[in-house]
Amino acid sequence: MVTRSVLIIEDEESISLSFQHVLKQSVDYNYTVTAVGSAEEALQAIERSGMFDIVLLDIFLPGENGIDFLKKLRSMDTETVVICISGTQDYRIVHDVFKLGADDFISKVELSNHYVLEKAIFAGLEKREYQRRLLQLEIQAQRMEAITTIIRTIHHELNNPLAILRLASSKLGTPGSLSDEELRNYCTQVQENIDRMADVLKRLPMFHEELFNTELRGLKVYALPREHTASEKQPPQ
């Protein structure tokens, strides 16, 4: 069974205990529960244990209120599922908590049915899993785009010297048609372009530079890294 950590921030002990009872009855997750009565205690719990998977947050708390705590939490972490709980259904409060990044809002009246809390937790966890999978797909798509761009770059880097080699080969393949000077020039071209291709192949293992062409609206351009000179390789004094 998958284990999920839950932080309950509720100053009414009876309500906090009812949440804990619902979580203990779960057949889908094994919840490890930490219960505190204020935002200040919640921050201390996070400092001790790290971020929690789920936070059940009462809006009206002694000291710092739940909305201010939510602002702080979201400035530190966006992955935690946050379910805000309140005795009021004031639309302004509901609007504010969702704007600040809450995953759900439940009135305490609704919590008389314990399935409401379970459903909110399941929905929040599924939402996070969907977001993670979507991110993985986006990363895979970016990698495929990068590979395609790299292949095109290598094609460009090798195609030009190959074209020159083909031309030189066709000229050198006709005996007696070239003067000594032309022969020397074509031989020089052959050597230069062999060296150029060898240099490209040598630099391929270091193929990692990603440049952005601002003139092309941020288009990603992958370039073969140039070799560093001896002075560039030396560490700064």
pLDDT tens-place string over residues 141-161:
877 887 787 788 788 888 888
Q: At what angle do helices 66-76 and 39-49 cross, to 10 degrees?
A: 20
- CATH, domain range 139-233: 1.10.287
Identify whether the C-beta of residue 38 lies closer than 8 Å to the C-beta of residue 9: yes
Average pLDDT, integer, range 181-195: 89
CATH topology of domain 2-112: Rossmann fold (3.40.50)
pLDDT band for position 186 (cuts 50, 70, 90):
confident
Identify whether the C-beta of residue 67 lies closer than 8 Å to the C-beta of residue 59: yes
Q: Do domains 2-112 and 139-233 have the same CATH topology?
A: no
Residue where the block lists tokens 């000291």: 63
pTM score: 0.63
pLDDT for 222: 53
Q: Where are the domains positioned within the chain? A: 2-112, 139-233
Phi, psi values for residue 131, rounded to 5°: -65, -40
Residue where the block lists tokens 């009021």: 88
Share of the chain above pLDDT 70, in %: 86
The tens digit of pLDDT for each residue in 51-87 reads: 999 999 999 999 999 999 999 999 998 899 999 999 8
Query: Residue 132 above 90 pLDDT?
Result: no
